[in-house]
Chain A
């Protein structure tokens, strides 16, 4: 059965200018309970790879540079 990709606006937003993942930081990726954040191959910055968010906040709270913002997922906003 063919698969289609399904577009969603993701709740976690990373400010590339502040993110230091390119310097080796993986804090937000490490702490996420749902394991939805990844470091991009292209930009070397963190981003939300999977829209499976509990809007719980460790990524934002633990980010050493304040680069991560958690928004309420659109469906329940």
Chain B
């Protein structure tokens, strides 16, 4: 039978711990859960294929936030991340990450992933952040996924590829009971009962529309359509600070990193059309992005990443990393444009908006044990709320989640869910396949994401948001009653559009709730242009209550590492001063 043909089917399996998402955090969570209790069943569910899924599909060029003894301390790192996020940080989780991440680096090293060392055999850590030194290059970074996969096979983790989770199941008393999923090539449905579930489903990277107009030309792996945020939301979990968007400085049109973290330590820098620096620090913060945005609009743009002043050998070294790891088609792209880093600077632009704690501070709310607000439900990686996490944060917090989730599974029996919930979800999932006539998912997706660009991307204007929400509601109506899926692959896209629509609604709702400006460009509200610490020095938590989207304030936990008054605004001073 031909692939993609729709098959009617529903089966049920069970496991102790279900990990959804096999990118970065997921494999580590599954591995740690299994090692904690080798007798338990751990299932790793993946929409694509664990071998090549997620943000690190083609590897990673380095660690952006390595806290390595002798170079940085957990206290210093916690302070830096707190300041970079305008103070809205529960430090306990950041501090725990900073304490644990070195162990994880050593573990990754034992998996065969190499990190750059100097002639003395010490890790060769580089400085990119404003204050501390945390960037560690990975000379064989293209092997990350393969190394992880070997560990998963060795530990006998049950891997189910090409299954997209669609909704979480809960018991009447609110505990997690499992998940519903659908095979992306046959549309057969699979219910997975589990004692604990860990969401590692990546960023919401298909939210804004890239300026190229190519829907899959996103910064994030385009498979990361925000399914985890939507699932957590519909399960009643709280989501934190979603108004703190992800917006990144990227190679124009190519829409991938240039990358300041790779090239910066060698002497490359961001410059305007006059060849002048205009930002103090290339670390991706909201304040830096605001200066980038201002420069583009000032008439001093375009903005470039400047490499050509460097020694040819240095440029070759940077080039070999950029063209081999993470996004290797960068080389092909530059070749097509006739750009040689030795003679020409790299034209940069601003990415579409998304949700991603890897580079910002939003996500499914988790505590320092990666627990969400739903008992038995965990989250880690780009979709969980620990800020500025990057790849090492996904590994480290995935590890925390795996261990804690297995402990939860060891102490709880299966929670009972209502069979009617499965039947209802099956109807929702299959609805687009049961219509004879209607609108294909790609058109609904394009329109939704075009509306996100037109109305939701910063600067955030209240009136525009109100109009945008009306337009999105109309698109949602079309999605719910007219969208069609003619084969299983199109059904996958139809389900993804529903996640994208939910994320767009959440982005709008969360942004309107916080009546101030914060995090530079990420949450710049023109109607409330100032930071308002008196009323808004707090997290915002968005959740579904009685079927409705609601937001509330949550106090920032008392700091573990104190921040002095004169340190608080270090990231606010990103623009280079004209005079001393």
Contacts and interface: CB of A to CB of B under 8 A. Distances in A.
Interface of A: 1, 3, 30-35, 38-39, 41, 49-50, 52-58, 61-62, 70-73, 75-77
Given A73-B212, A76-B210, 20 more contacts: A1-B439, A30-B161, A31-B49, A31-B52, A33-B221, A34-B223, A35-B489, A39-B3, A52-B493, A54-B216, A54-B222, A55-B332, A56-B221, A56-B327, A70-B329, A72-B332, A73-B216, A75-B213, A76-B333, A77-B253
B254 interface: yes
23 contacts: A32-B52, A33-B49, A33-B54, A33-B57, A34-B222, A35-B162, A52-B216, A54-B216, A55-B217, A55-B329, A57-B58, A57-B328, A57-B329, A58-B58, A62-B52, A72-B332, A73-B212, A73-B217, A75-B212, A75-B213, A76-B212, A76-B254, A76-B333
Nearest to A54: B222
B2 interface: yes
Contacts of A41: 2
B329 A33 contact: no
Nearest to A58: B52
B437 A1 contact: yes
A49 B492 CA distance: 15
B254 A34 contact: no
Given A1-B438, A76-B253, A77-B336, A52 B215 contact: yes
Nearest to B216: A52
Contacts of B223: 33-34, 54
Nearest to B440: A3
B222 A52 contact: yes
A3 B482 CA distance: 13
Nearest to B220: A54
| Chain A facing B: main interface SS | loop
Contacts of B438: 1
A54 B218 CA distance: 7
B487 to A, nearest CB: 10
Contacts of A39: 3
The 5 closest A-B pairs by CB, nearest first: A76-B212, A58-B52, A75-B214, A31-B52, A33-B48
Contact of A56 (B210, B215, B253, B329): B329
Q: Tell me which of A31, A54, A57, A72 has the highest count of chain B C-beta atoms within 10 A of its own C-beta.
A: A54
A70 B306 CA distance: 27
Interface string B52-94: 1110011000000000000000000000000000000000000
B255 A76 contact: yes
B184 interface: yes
Contacts of B2: 41
B525 interface: no
Contact of A73 (B48, B51, B58, B214): B214
Given A31-B52, A33-B221, A34-B48, A50 B489 contact: yes
Interface string B24-65: 000000000000000000000000110111100110000000
Contacts of A31: 49, 51-52
Contact of A35 (B184, B221, B332): B184
B446 to A, nearest CB: 11
Interface string B1-34: 0111000000000000000000000000000000
Interface in B131-188: 161-162, 184-185
A57 B325 CA distance: 10
A57 B328 CA distance: 7
A72 B331 CA distance: 10
Contacts of A38: 3-4
A8 to B, nearest CB: 10
B58 A61 contact: yes
A50 B487 CA distance: 12
B133 to A, nearest CB: 30
A30 B49 contact: yes
B216 A76 contact: no
A32 B48 contact: yes
Contacts of B185: 35
A35 B183 CA distance: 12
A72 B215 contact: no
B492 to A, nearest CB: 7
Contacts of A58: 51-52, 57-58
A49 to B, nearest CB: 8
A52 to B, nearest CB: 5
A5 to B, nearest CB: 10
Contacts of A76: 210, 212, 214, 217, 253-255, 333
A57 to B, nearest CB: 5
B545 to A, nearest CB: 35
A50 B328 CA distance: 21
B53 A33 contact: yes
B58 A72 contact: no
Contacts of B214: 73, 75-76
B254 A35 contact: no
Contacts of B332: 55, 70-72
Nearest to B161: A30
